[in-house]
Structure 1
Amino acid sequence: MSEHPRDLFGYGAVPPRAAWPGGARVAVSLVLNYEEGGERNVLDGDASSEAFLHEVVGAPPVTGGRDLNAESMFAYGARAGFWRVHRTLLAHRTPLTVHAVGQALERNPQAARAMAAAGWEVAGHGWRWIDYREVPEEAERADVARTVATIRRLVGRRPVGWYTGRTSPATRRLVAAEGGFLYDSDDYADDLPHYVEAAGRPHLVVPYSLDANDFKFLLVHGFTTADDMLGYLVDTFDTLHAEGAERPRMMSVGLHGRIIGRPGRIRALDAFLRHVAQRGGAWCATREQIARHWLATHPPRPMH
């Protein structure tokens, strides 16, 4: 309970000057969450099927059996949605960070090769797409190591970033103690990277977003049409762009192949990238690039 003391002050009224490359007002980080094949399934020893973030919102899980409809909706993300997102980002030449679930990547090495060929950063997202709150610490530590090894083997380099999403109290400490990570993104508390103490030393957090995120298509009272998401992304970017004239900010955009990769939604991503390019003043970067810039420009101070 004491591993994550709350900090409600942060940078306060005067955040640091980010000094993004090229004098950019906003660092834009696009993230694709690659989870398909790592979700709950009795075939993998789970007690029930997956009930979270698929098109039948609110449907209960099937206990002790398979939900073939849910499985096929997840499969769409790997079979079709991923490639639609891939084509869109390559057309815009936009950098991307992938939050990759180890088992999902293991089950689609073709996608892993495409990520590597595109030059995308591949960060760890757990071995399974599950809630780690009740997972024993030793099992979670082993999952971090297994995910690192799998990404290294399939993509060609180890991950330097991490995002579990549904963390345990020990997640950040385990990631920091592993020794090979520059940052984690299990945080939604700021518009800029910041340091926390983990495993007895300063640890960089590159915050993520659940508001500028396509998963709101699969929430009650969330996004319904591509215009809903596009309008929210544009409003977010324009606000940060205006604020960035004085104090540059960071914007994260969360994506999923099985969600934004649907034909009726992909226009939101395409049109947003066009808006960013036309407006100017943005540095589109991977989270690794943002982390390395922050570490060099705003190095950590001793915690004590």
Structure 2
Amino acid sequence: MSDQGTVQPWQWPEQEWRRLVGRVRAGRRLRPTRWRDGARFAVALAFDSDHETNELRDGGKSINRLAWGQYANRVGVPRILKLLEKYSVPASFYVPAVTALLYPAEQRQVVEAGHEIGVHGWIHELNSNLPRESELDLIARSMDQLEKVTGRRPTGFRSPSADFSENTLQILQELGFSYDSSLGADEDCYELESHGLPTGITEIPFDWVRDDAVYFLMHRFQGLRPYTPPSQVFDIFKRELDAAHQEGGLFELTMHPHIITNRSRIWIVEELIKYAKSLDGGVWFARHDEIADYVTRHSAE
């Protein structure tokens, strides 16, 4: 509607709110009856390697916050890789292209350890602020840059800050992505639809309740001070994991190397891994690209 800015939502004609709702929707549910090797449930760990881009994307120049990003490279990622190796657990890392340019050796180490690297924007930009041609250019260049650094072309996408624009889904189709992990219309995986039509792209649901940033991340210049004690965050994540186990579903957990790896927090990840491995019926720890491939081929629906 050309005059949408002056018309209130309750005045929209039905076709307008139906159009808005229908742009990106959850289609058929992709839930297998059993996971790989007969496991009762699956666990997919993700780490968003934002590093310095958290500050840079808004034009920030704070040396203090940039140092926080460097901590992710010097301490965070090595600590994560060591823990994952200890328990033979694979994971997915979503990496802005600027992070890969700053730390190419880190990305190669991640891939060499058997983990996945997916696209996470160029400089952690907000896609909904971009014209279509700019969003397409940045995602395409990010895809190319990650392939150049790691030798492997990414197949998965996570929108920075889960900011999904009107054009994002069409761009993912155009660039040949197999899955996305930015949206949360379900707790099971599902196929994304656009205006009622299936896209062939699998969604691995993301939700802020399973993200460390909402409990720990702060910004000293903006008065943002969320803080939940690590023991309570562990309890939230554990309850989510317990429900996934009970239902035979997927437990997807998103974390950040500059947030979860402090000495008082990294134990959360280790305890969750040990706990998941102790549950009856077995668990399949998998990268997000493995999950997307498996549910697409073994969906019960």
Q: Give a deviation string over 1:95-147, Cα, whole Å, max 9, x none.
A: 10111111111110111111111110111111111212111111111111111
Report what 2:155 is aligned to: 160
1:26 to 25, 41, 65: 41
Inter-partner Cα distance in structure 1 for 2:26 and 2:140 = 34
Report what 1:277 is aligned to: 277
Inter-partner Cα distance in structure 2 for 1:193 and 1:209 = 12
Report what 2:237 is aligned to: 233
Inter-partner Cα distance in structure 1 for 2:49 and 2:239 = 26
Report what 1:202 is aligned to: 200
Q: Give a deviation string over 1:279-304, Cα, whole Å, max 9, x none.
A: 2421111111111111212399xxxx
What is the aligned residue count? 273
Root-mean-square deviation (CA, aligned residues, Å) is: 2.6
Contact 1:38 1:102 in 2 (8 A): no
How many angstroms does 1:3 deviate by?
A: 6.6
Report what 1:296 is aligned to: 297
- What does 1:259-278 align with in structure 2 at a 5 Å threshold? 259-278=259-278
Corresponding residue SS for 1:252: strand
Corresponding residue SS for 1:211: helix
2:171 to 161, 170, 174: 174
How many angstroms does 1:9 deviate by?
A: 8.5
Report what 2:126 is aligned to: 131
Inter-partner Cα distance in structure 1 for 2:137 and 2:23 = 28
* Letter aligned with residue 33 of structure 1: D
Q: Give a deviation string over 1:259-279, Cα, whole Å, max 9, x none.
A: 011111101111111111112
In the superposition, relative to structure 1, how do residues 290 and 3 fare at CA in structure 2: closer, same or farther (>3 Å)?
Answer: farther
TM normalised by structure 1 equals 0.82
Report what 1:35 is aligned to: 50
Inter-partner Cα distance in structure 2 for 1:78 and 1:174 = 30
How many angstroms does 1:209 deviate by?
A: 2.6
Inter-partner Cα distance in structure 1 for 2:25 and 2:48 = 28
How many angstroms does 1:36 deviate by?
A: 1.0
Inter-partner Cα distance in structure 2 for 1:243 and 1:221 = 35
Inter-partner Cα distance in structure 2 for 1:10 and 1:159 = 24
- What does 1:85-164 align with in structure 2 at a 5 Å threshold? 85-164=80-159
Contact 1:127 1:144 in 2 (8 A): yes
How many angstroms does 1:196 deviate by?
A: 2.1
Report what 1:52 is aligned to: none
Structure 2 residues not aligned, in runs of 5+: 1-15, 219-223
Corresponding residue SS for 1:204: strand
Runs (4+) off by over 3 Å? 1-4, 6-12, 15-18, 198-202, 219-223
In the superposition, relative to structure 1, how do residues 148 and 299 fare at CA in structure 2: closer, same or farther (>3 Å)?
Answer: farther
Inter-partner Cα distance in structure 2 for 1:157 and 1:206 = 21
Q: Percent sequence identity over matched residues? A: 23
How many angstroms does 1:11 deviate by?
A: 6.7
1:5 to 22, 27, 30: 22
How many angstroms does 1:224 deviate by?
A: 2.7
How many angstroms does 1:222 deviate by?
A: 5.2
Corresponding residue SS for 2:34: coil
Contact 2:53 2:124 in 1 (8 A): yes
Contact 1:27 1:284 in 2 (8 A): yes
How many angstroms does 1:202 deviate by?
A: 3.2
Contact 2:22 2:194 in 1 (8 A): no
How many angstroms does 1:195 deviate by?
A: 1.1
In the superposition, relative to structure 1, how do residues 30 and 230 fare at CA in structure 2: closer, same or farther (>3 Å)?
Answer: same
In the superposition, relative to structure 1, how do residues 147 and 273 fare at CA in structure 2: closer, same or farther (>3 Å)?
Answer: same
Corresponding residue SS for 2:191: strand
